[in-house]
Structures are given as structure tokens and as C-alpha cells.
Amino acid sequence: MSQNTGGDVPILDNIIQKTALVKQNMQALDLQVRSIGDQIPAVADLDAGRILSDSVGDWNQRFQLILNQLEEMNGRVIGVRNQLIQTGSDSVQTANS
């Protein structure tokens, strides 16, 4: 990264905001998938019902993994952002000393 980190912070802020938005959208989608899962017992004896049940089970496992990875990524980006801000503050303080 360049010495001038001021331009990087807005980019990181955008990543943080977009990741939070994706997380919200994923959670809304998860609610829809879970509502489908609630309807599966009505067709569970059919092949399609078993396939749907398996798919919802896969979704539930993968959804949590993806959500955890999004949260971890956002945490790392927040850490980098905070470090850039701190480094920028330290640079300004050093320059003013």
C-alpha cells in the first residue's frame, strides 16, 4: 500500500459495507430456504421430496460456513482499516512533532 493511506480507507469501508449487505441478503435467503424446509414433510415420501430435503440439508451446512467466512473476512478488513487509520494518525503526529 502507498504511504498515503487516506485513499485506501474509503475502499475498505466500501468492502465492509458491501459484505454486511451480502450477509443481510444471505440471511433473508436463508429464511426462504428454511420455509421450504418446513414444507418438505408433505412431500417427503416422493423422490422429489427426498432430493429437496437433501438439498436443504446441504444448504444449512454450507450457509453457516459461508456466513462464518463472510464475518471472518469482514473482521480482517476492519482490522486492516483500523490499522491504516492508526498508522495514518501516527504519521501525522510524527510529522507534526
Q: How many CB atoms lie within 10 A of CB 81?
A: 19
Question: Domain residue spans in the chain?
Answer: 5-96
What gap in Å lies between CA 19 and CA 67, rounded to an integer? 10
pTM, rounded to two decimals: 0.69
What gap in Å lies between CA 79 and CA 16, rounded to an integer? 11
Give residue-wise pLDDT tens across range 18-73.
Answer: 999 999 999 999 999 888 877 777 676 778 778 888 888 899 889 999 999 999 99
How far is residue 75 from each of residues 19, 52, 80, measured CA to CA in Å? 10, 34, 9
What per-residue confidence (pLDDT) applies to 30? 93
What per-residue confidence (pLDDT) applies to 6? 63
